[in-house]
Each structure stands twice: as C-alpha cells, then as structure tokens.
Structure 1
Amino acid sequence: MSAEKHGVLDGAVPPAENMRLFGHAEAEHFLAQNYRSGKGHHAILIEGPEGIGKATLAFRFANHVLSHPDPATAPEMLLDPEANAIVSRQIASGASHNLLHLTRPTDEKTGRVKSAITVDEVRRAGKFFSQTSGTGNWRIVIIDTADDLNRNAANAILKILEEPPKRSLFLVLTHAPGKLLPTIRSRCLPLALRPLGPGPMRQAMASLGFEIAGASAEKVFAAANGSVSEALKLVNYGGLDIIAAFDAVLAGQGPVIRKDMHKLADTLSGKDSETIFDFFSELASKHVMGQARQAALSGDLARADRFARLSSAVTEKLTLAGAYNLDRKQTILSLLDDLRSAQAA
C-alpha cells in the first residue's frame, strides 16, 4: 500500500525510511518482548509529543514483525533494519502489501494536506484487511496520527478495533491521548514515549547531518523541548527568529510595533509558509496557556480566566482561518492584537 510522504520537514528522514532511532531503548525492548511472548496486544497506542520518534518506532516495529512473522523465533530486541532487505525496501517505498499507513490525505484540487483523516481513508483499512495475504503474514496498520481522525473516521476505526482480523496489528500514534475517544483508548495497549534528553537529541540531529555547538545549541535544544522536528524548525525554518520577533512584538511599545507586527505577519503568510505558520500557531497557543497557568499559580484568578478564554478564542480563530482559507496575514495581525491587549490588561 502506498504511503504518503507529505509533512516531512527539510533535513528529516521520512519515518518509513529511517533506520535509526535514538532515546527509546526501553520502549523498543518492551515491544520486542511483548511480540516475542506470542500474547501481544492487537492495538498499541504510542503516545508522546510530536517529533520525538513515534512514527519511526512504529515503522521500525512493523519491519521487525514483518521480517519475523513467527513471534517465537523473533529476536529479543529491535535491531536497526537492514536498508537493502526486501521488507525494508518495500516499507520505505510504500510497496508493502502487508502495511497500510493511514494519514491525512492530500487534496487533489489544491495540493494541500487535508485537515483530517476522513472516513474514506479508514475504508481503505477495511479493503486492506479483506484482501487475502499471499504470504499469510501479518497485516499492520499505522494510524498517523489518531488525533487527526474526524468523528466518522474515529468511529469507523473503533469498529475494526472491536473485532480485529486475525494476525492484524494496529499501531496508533497520538500527540494528545486525552483527546481521543475513550473507547479507542480502552481497546489499545498504551506505550508512552518521553521527549528526548540532551544526549539522544544530539545523536538524532547528528545523524541528520546537524552538528550544533555553542550558544546556538543551547538555544535550539532548550526551545525544542526534546523534539527533533521542533529542532529542525528552529534550525532550518527560522524558528529562533520567529520566537524572537514574537517576544519583541508582545513586549514592545509605541507605533513602531505595528511595523514589526506587519513584518512578522508577512513572513508567516508568504509562499510555502505552512510549516512556520504552524510553528507560530503552536507558539502562540503555548504562550497563552502558559500565561493562564502562571496567573493561576500566582493567585491572579481574573488574569488566569482572561487568558483561559483567550486560549479558546485563539484556537477557534486559527481553526476557522484554516477551514475557510481566510487571509492569513489578517488572521495573524488580529491574533497579535488580541495577545497584546490581554498582556496589557
């Protein structure tokens, strides 16, 4: 089944092609032992922040299972896949008949990635399982991510999880397990991954060809919070500059700030700016939630309530802008005005 390769950042290796994983030895050991026991769960919920290796781990485990279809004779640990092995080549090229990667599809008209995994995508899983495997091998579905399932798609997945086909395995990825349907969570074995520590982060970035040292390394790793994808956005997409400009706009005074706001909005709404716009959206959302949390901890309940309400408003504004393709620059300027007003109140 063909795997989509959209959403891969510049400098990154697509998870299906990535032969290296750093910082998750404990999770790898658990998966290997769980599978080898012959009593492994049919659905594993791989949880953790974005960009820490969840998808790479899922493809890595899928490679392990398809390479060793008999659990009793499988290795006791997950080894680095051999790039030239038949299973690895099939997975990397999206040509494996035993693996289906469900992710947000691309809109054929606009060429943009859709905002959700639709029920039509989930129906592919039904067809996938209905086909007879010529090898009698496992059938594996990677849902990347379950956070992107719309309601109809989530209900359709639930039906399959309730009555899974024989020799089927679901690897369900999520950045926010608390937002999933409780019925989906209850039918999966949870496996939580933690953000990468400094050592694994340096190893992961070095494996991608990034040797970051000195003061810039401290800034990147501090802002990345253990996420390789965040580090790539900071290094390759001007993320550090976006953070600096955002902080300056919120802290600045006087008419010159309008000029800075427009400059930032122009950068975020330019051609091919999807990645940095998403980065900014997440930055703004985290800022508002952080302000609400800080105010609550300090006992300023009025300010906490104001920022909590603003958090909902920011999410709604960004969601509507994306859904209706509203002018991105005006959305950013309006959002910055709201943040500045809340900050000054």
Structure 2
Amino acid sequence: MNGEQPGLLEGAIPPERNTVLYGHDSAQEFLATAYRSGRMHHAILIEGAEGIGKATLAYRFAHHVLTHPDPLDAPDHIADPDLDDPVGRQISSGASHHVLHLARPVDEKTGKAKSVITVDEVRRAGKFFGQTSGTGNWRVAIIDPADDLNRNAANAILKILEEPPKRSLFLVLSHTPGRLLPTIRSRCLSLKLQALSPPDLDRALAHLGAAPGETDAIIRLSEGSVARALLLRNYGGVDIAEAFVDILERGNLNDREPIYKLAETLSARDRDVAYDFFTGFAVDRVQQMAREAGAAGDLAEADRLARMSATLAEHFATAAAYNLDRKQTVLHVFSIFFG
C-alpha cells in the first residue's frame, strides 16, 4: 500500500527494503516480547531523532507480525526480513494489502512532497481497514512521521485510535513528539529510540557503501543519525557544517566573505537538500552549544543559546512558510548571532 518515499536521500535504502537495523536491539526485543504476550498495545509511538531507524524498525515489526500472525507462536526475537518470502516481497514492493504507509503525499504539479499529511491521506486508513476487515489477518498502519499531520488529519487519526479495529496495529513515528496532540500521545505506548553510537553508525554507513576510514568526520558531525550522515557524505554537508562552525568561532561579522560564500552556496539552484540540512544543523548546533554551556555551569549563556536556537527555528519556519529568499534567510542567521 505504499510506494517509495519521496525525498529519499542518495545512498539510502527505503525502510521497507532495508533488511538490517543497527543499534536498537532492546527496542526490537521489547516489541517481540510485547507481541508474543498477546497483550500488545494497539498503538506504538516510536520516538527519536530523524534518521536513526524508526521507519526501518516499523517495517521490520510489520514483517514480524504478518509472518507470525498468531502471537503465541511468534519467536522471541525479530529476525532480519526475507524479501524473497511472500510477506517480505509484498511489503518491499508496496503490494501488501495488510500494510498502509501514511506520509506526506506528492504534489502532482511539482513532483515534490507536500508540507503536511492531509486528511485525505488519513481517509485512506478508513478504506484500508474497511477493505481488509474480513481477512482475519493483522493490519498495520505506519504513520511516518505523525509530526507532519495537519490539524484535521491528526483529529481523524485520533478518532481511529479511540476505537481501533480488531487486529489492527498503529506504528506512529515521531521526531518531535511534543508537537503531537496530547490526546494522540495518550493513546499510544511510547517507545523511545536513542541516537546511534559511533560504532553502530559506522556499521550502518558501511552497509550503505562507505569505505573504511571515510566516515570519521561524518560520524563526528552526524549526532548518531544515518540521515544526517548521508547528507554530510553525499550532499556537501561536511563543508557546509565546517564553514558554519568556522564562522561562529570567528565570533563577529567583520569578515563577511565566508558568510556570503555560504549563503551563495545554499541559495543556488538544485541545493534544496543542502539548504534543508543547513537549517537543521544550525539549530541543532546551537542547542548543542547551549547544553555544553549548561554542563560547564554557565547557566546564563546556556539560557541565551537556548533562546537563540528557538529564534533560529522560528526564523527558518517563517522563511519556509512564506517562501522567502534563501540567501537573505541564511544571511539573517548571522545577524541573529552577532547582531
């Protein structure tokens, strides 16, 4: 019931086709045990930073459930999916009638994903559960991520969660669960995933084709996220990140050349992915600086930086909402820092 996700990063494997998962053994053990008990919650909120494996975990669990429809006969672990068996083949090809992937739909005019998951997408869930209700098998809906639900879509999902169909399972993915409706969170069992450790991230990147010794700088900057690592590796992210950090360390606007060079780079045509990487990296970097200041006991500086990260996030959100000029958006970032 789902095709390849729009916006898939270069070098990434679509979650429904990924046969390995690194760094989340305890989460997999928890899901396998909960399912085998026969008393599993009907909705699991899988929380964690973007790009750490939430969607891959969801598809692995869907494969596990559909391969072992009787919980009491299910194994106590989640095995790597076999994409050549009937269940794996159907899921990986998007042809399974028992798995629904709800994500931001593609705008037919632009060919790009829309900014939100609409209520029309959620209505597909009603049809999905209605069409498969007589089969007796499990039906798994993966909401990826639920952060993108607009208000009407969120309310529509909430109604289904309040009265879930029999043998239904909702895997609700969220990068920032605080953005979800509290009523949605309250109807889900929370499963928090941690960022990948450097060894696990190294293994994940090797699985995606990275050569030994290639990933040292990438791992240092990626904060345990495979998605961020791919942005750093394949979209010039290392240069962007290092240029941004270098400008911050200079501490003033006197030398404008590197600032304008970075703004020109990010505002060039066909640099959408690089620009999106920068907006996320800039906010995260300031948040990290705030944490470091707090750990060092400088609470005033930690508070200043925390407020600055919120200002940056609002600045980028406003620029995106009103399609503001990217060069000016980037230049204003440094006015926020040094103005």
Q: Secondary structure at the match of 1:23?
A: coil
What is the CA–CA distance in structure 1 between the aligned matches of 2:252 and 2:45, rounded to whole Å?
Answer: 50
CA contact (8 A) 1:49 1:227 kept: yes
Alpha-carbon distance change, 126 to 9 in structure 1, aligned in 2, over 3 angstroms: same
Residue segments in structure 1 that go unaligned for 5+ positions in a row:
none
Residue segments in structure 2 that go unaligned for 5+ positions in a row:
none
What is the CA–CA distance in structure 2 between the aligned matches of 1:98 and 1:282, rounded to whole Å?
Answer: 34
Which deviates more, 291-300 or 168-177? 291-300
What is the CA–CA distance in structure 2 between the aligned matches of 1:254 and 1:247, rounded to whole Å?
Answer: 12
For 2:218, which of 199, 220, 238 is the aligned residue? 220
TM-score (norm 1): 0.91
* Displacement after TM superposition at 1:290 (Å): 3.9
CA contact (8 A) 1:98 1:133 kept: no
CA contact (8 A) 2:3 2:94 kept: yes
* Displacement after TM superposition at 1:100 (Å): 0.6
1:115-134 Cα deviation digits (max 9, x unpaired):
22122211111111121356
What is the CA–CA distance in structure 1 between the aligned matches of 2:283 and 2:198, rounded to whole Å?
Answer: 25
User: Which residue of structure 2 aligns with residue 338 of structure 1?
Assistant: 336
* Displacement after TM superposition at 1:113 (Å): 1.7
The residue identity in structure 2 corresponding to 1:237 is Y
* Displacement after TM superposition at 1:112 (Å): 2.2
1:46 partnered with 2:46: yes
User: Which residue of structure 1 aligns with residue 140 of structure 2?
Assistant: 140
User: Which residue of structure 1 aligns with residue 35 of structure 2?
Assistant: 35
The residue identity in structure 1 corresponding to 2:148 is D
User: Which residue of structure 1 aligns with residue 153 of structure 2?
Assistant: 153
What is the CA–CA distance in structure 1 between the aligned matches of 2:334 and 2:93, rounded to whole Å?
Answer: 43
What is the CA–CA distance in structure 2 between the aligned matches of 1:102 and 1:17, rounded to whole Å?
Answer: 17
CA contact (8 A) 1:293 1:304 kept: yes
In angstroms, what is the RMSD of aligned CA positions?
Answer: 2.1
1:286 partnered with 2:278: no
The residue identity in structure 2 corresponding to 1:168 is S
Alpha-carbon distance change, 74 to 291 in structure 1, aligned in 2, over 3 angstroms: closer
The residue identity in structure 1 corresponding to 2:90 is Q
What is the CA–CA distance in structure 1 between the aligned matches of 2:138 and 2:169, rounded to whole Å?
Answer: 7
* Displacement after TM superposition at 1:270 (Å): 2.0
User: Which residue of structure 2 aligns with residue 106 of structure 1?
Assistant: 106
User: Which residue of structure 2 aligns with residue 63 of structure 1?
Assistant: 63
1:161-194 Cα deviation digits (max 9, x unpaired):
1100011000011112233222111111111111
1:195-225 Cα deviation digits (max 9, x unpaired):
1223222221111111231xx5332222122
* Displacement after TM superposition at 1:66 (Å): 1.2
Percent of paired sites with the same residue: 58
User: Which residue of structure 2 aligns with residue 180 of structure 1?
Assistant: 180
CA contact (8 A) 1:99 1:140 kept: yes
* Displacement after TM superposition at 1:304 (Å): 5.1
User: Which residue of structure 2 aligns with residue 274 of structure 1?
Assistant: 272
What is the CA–CA distance in structure 2 between the aligned matches of 1:230 and 1:212, rounded to whole Å?
Answer: 18
TM-score (norm 2): 0.92
Equivalent residue runs for 1:204-243 within 5 Å: 204-213=204-213, 217-243=215-241
CA contact (8 A) 1:4 1:101 kept: no
User: Which residue of structure 1 aligns with residue 202 of structure 2?
Assistant: 202
User: Which residue of structure 1 aligns with residue 83 of structure 2?
Assistant: 83
Q: What count of residue pairs does the alignment treat as equivalent?
A: 338
1:79-138 Cα deviation digits (max 9, x unpaired):
111121121121112111111101111222222222221222111111111213564211
1:254-288 Cα deviation digits (max 9, x unpaired):
88732222211122122232222121111221233
User: Which residue of structure 2 aligns with residue 162 of structure 1?
Assistant: 162
